[in-house]
A and B are shown apart, each in its own frame.
Chain A
């Protein structure tokens, strides 16, 4: 029984970490800008690809750091792209969908059809025994990276002037604009930061995730689900939503595997039926 419990907990933790990593950056971007960036998964996958390539040249930790650093350039590029093409919400949806397809094509061009991962390097980190089960250190390091990103996001939002502007825009863009905040600049810099966070999460996830073609779309749905279940406007909401989704999915895998495919979607439906704006909605109201 203890063995079952611990293996359940480890599976839960691994999927929790995975889904949290995919949704952190998106929660940040969407919370502030309301730009539904369909290419968010693309940047996650980009981080993973880059980390996998770099890690074989300069070692695991440096490789992941280098991938995150390289992705710094993509935030401003995305900023300019959306600024040039998407003024209305529907145009932004269109522009980011085009970007998702272009990203997928470029990945095929540059990286080919193979699996990219740093898992075999991460295996070298060894593992720790918890109640008779081996837990790889890579998962613990992944958890540390997620915690560090969360802490940085919290500090930025709660302790700096830029964060104050972002929170104001998130709560009520019209009012923030009336108070003299340049909503557009704030929104686009937030989306650039969100992309940096996403790519860094992707780079760290390469320790257990294999990156391959078609993953961008899959990642997008997970991120989307955790964002919606959590409710926009609260970092804690994303953490809680990732935990809820992971718990239900892990339970489905252990008890009734046929449900694995639909478990995430059933959680979303159940949550939105009872709380139409997610679990941690700050302002539940119309329009």
Chain B
């Protein structure tokens, strides 16, 4: 029962952020958007799959909307959402189908390679995609009305809450148990009758859609999308977010870990050596976790 409080907790936190002033509002939208990509990485980690190309889905979600605006001149939110889900879902299916036979490090590098090919296409086909400058992202409109910051925050909170609910359902479901089985021993899980390939394919599509929606939200919040969204370092950060989330026992762990990671990164920027600060704090998190769960 307590797990179902997660979506409510997320919406409450977003509401609190709304009354916290313009900076907190922007930060909340960014973190909630980014947390959806973390959700994607986290979902695949449940299967033991480390996806270093999740950033490609994140980029596709944003580019789908940016290209819609550039070529079809539509800023309609519903159209953008459909395009983002379609593009990211198709990418997830591709990634899942291509990677279905690969596991471990092979899966990681295959997904990284796919995302870097997309990165290369986004950079090199600059007449279509805007190249390394990226694309402008419009203010989304719902039924012709600009949704504004409040609307964007509401959208981000609703999406994060919906994915938290999905995570809750997943954790209790047959699919969630199959995921745990695949992570521990894939051969045994398939011998027990689970269709491993189908489970991985579906979760790959779901993870990609989550990340795509995340990219769309982050793109809206900064009015800009660039190929860096698809660069593998971006994916690496999401994987680290997913790892922190998998250390946390709550369903809303993906939002907490996204907030933690972004706060650490923001905090580190005031120093001359930000990498040292982020690395040190991540190390402290890991050490604290190891002390807490001494096994």
Contact = CB atoms under 8 A, between A and B. Distances in A.
Contacts of B286: 85, 91, 94-95, 98
On chain A, which size bracket covers the interface? 35 or more
Contacts of A224: 105, 108-109, 112
A94 B243 contact: yes
A88 to B, nearest CB: 9
A236 interface: no
B280 A287 contact: no
Interface string A217-246: 100010011011000100000000000000
Interface string B9-53: 000000000000000000000000000000000000100001000
B187 interface: yes
B102 A272 contact: yes
Contacts of B232: 221
Interface string A112-145: 0000000000000000000000000000000000
A149 interface: no
Nearest to A258: B124
Interface in B103-126: 103-106, 108-110, 112-114, 116-117, 119-121, 123-124
B282 interface: yes
A272 B111 CA distance: 11
Interface stretch (B169-177, B198-206, B268-276): B268-276
B90 interface: no
Interface stretch (A16-24, A66-74, A263-271): A263-271
A265 B102 contact: no
Nearest to B246: A90
Contact of B275 (A30, A101, A258, A277): A101
A101 B120 contact: no
Contacts of A264: 113
A36 B105 contact: yes
A269 B117 contact: yes
Interface in B220-269: 232-233, 236, 239-240, 243-244, 246
Interface stretch (A103-111, A156-164, A165-173): A103-111
Given A36-B108, A101-B278, A261 B246 contact: no
A106 B112 CA distance: 27
A93 B50 contact: yes
A272 B109 contact: yes
Interface string A247-278: 00000000000100110111011001100111
A207 B163 CA distance: 51
A287 B50 contact: no
B279 interface: yes
Q: From DSSP, what is the main secondary structure of chain B's interface residues? A: helix
Given A262-B116, A268-B113, A276-B106, A85 B273 contact: no
A99 B240 contact: no
A283 interface: no
Contacts of A93: 50, 239, 243
A46 to B, nearest CB: 15
B295 interface: yes
A109 B243 contact: no
B237 to A, nearest CB: 9
Given A101-B279, A225-B109, A261-B119, 19 more contacts: A38-B236, A85-B283, A90-B246, A94-B243, A94-B282, A98-B286, A99-B279, A99-B283, A104-B276, A108-B276, A109-B276, A225-B113, A261-B116, A264-B113, A269-B117, A277-B106, A278-B106, A286-B103, A287-B187
- In order of increasing CB-CB distance, the 3 nearest A-B pairs are A105-B276, A101-B279, A102-B279
26 contacts: A38-B236, A90-B246, A93-B50, A93-B243, A94-B240, A94-B243, A94-B286, A98-B279, A101-B276, A101-B279, A101-B282, A104-B275, A105-B275, A109-B273, A217-B233, A224-B108, A224-B112, A225-B113, A228-B106, A261-B124, A265-B114, A272-B113, A273-B98, A277-B106, A286-B103, A286-B186
Interface of B: 45, 50, 98, 101-106, 108-110, 112-114, 116-117, 119-121, 123-124, 185-188, 190, 232-233, 236, 239-240, 243-244, 246, 272-280, 282-283, 286-287, 290, 295
Interface of A: 30, 34, 36, 38, 84-85, 87, 90-91, 93-95, 97-106, 108-109, 217, 221, 224-225, 227-228, 232, 258, 261-262, 264-266, 268-269, 272-273, 276-278, 286-287
